[in-house]
Copies of this chain bind each other. A is one copy, B any other.
Amino acid sequence: MNGGESGSRPSNADAQALKGHLDVLLLAVLEDGPRHGYAVKEALREGSDGRFDLPTGTVYPALYRLEREGLITGTWSRVDGRRRRTYQLTPAGHLRLRTDRGHWREFAATISTLLEGKPWPATG
C-alpha cells in the first residue's frame, strides 16, 4: 500500500477509529465560540495533544456536511487578504451537541465495560 514504513508518519494512527465521532468533536470546538475551518482544525490538534491532527480533506468536507445539515452556519469574511469562512453553532447544533455528548458517554461506557475482562455471560 504505502511506500515507507520508516520515517515520519504525519497522519494520526487512530485513522478510521474516529468514524462517527468526528461531528461531535467539531461541534464541541465550535461551542466555545465561532471559528473558521483552519482554526477548528488547529484547536482540535492542540486540544488533543497532537493526537487528532486531521487533514484538511477531513475537516472541510465535515464542516460542509454539518452546515448542510443545519447544525452550523458559515459566513465569509476577509482578514489580511485571506478569505475566511467562520462557522458557529445553530440552535439545532447546540441540541445535537447535547444529545451526541450523551451518546458518546453511553457508547464509551459500554465499550469500556466490555473490555474490562469480566466473565461473559455463558451462552448455553
Contacts and interface: CB of A to CB of B under 8 A. Distances in A.
Contact of A111 (B21, B31, B43): B21
Given A19-B20, A114-B25, A115-B24, A43 B107 contact: no
Interface in A1-43: 13-21, 24-25, 28-29, 31-32, 35, 39, 42-43
Interface string A38-73: 010011101111011000000000000000000000
| Oligomer copy total | 2
Contact of A43 (B20, B21, B39, B123): B123
A108 B110 contact: no
A84 to B, nearest CB: 11
A81 interface: no
B111 A104 contact: yes
B39 A124 contact: yes
Given A14-B103, A17-B20, A44-B114, 17 more contacts: A14-B20, A14-B107, A15-B20, A16-B20, A17-B103, A19-B20, A29-B114, A32-B120, A43-B121, A43-B123, A46-B120, A47-B114, A47-B121, A51-B106, A51-B110, A52-B114, A105-B112
17 contacts: A15-B20, A16-B20, A17-B19, A18-B20, A19-B20, A25-B111, A25-B114, A29-B120, A31-B117, A39-B123, A42-B123, A43-B120, A44-B114, A52-B114, A104-B115, A105-B112, A108-B112
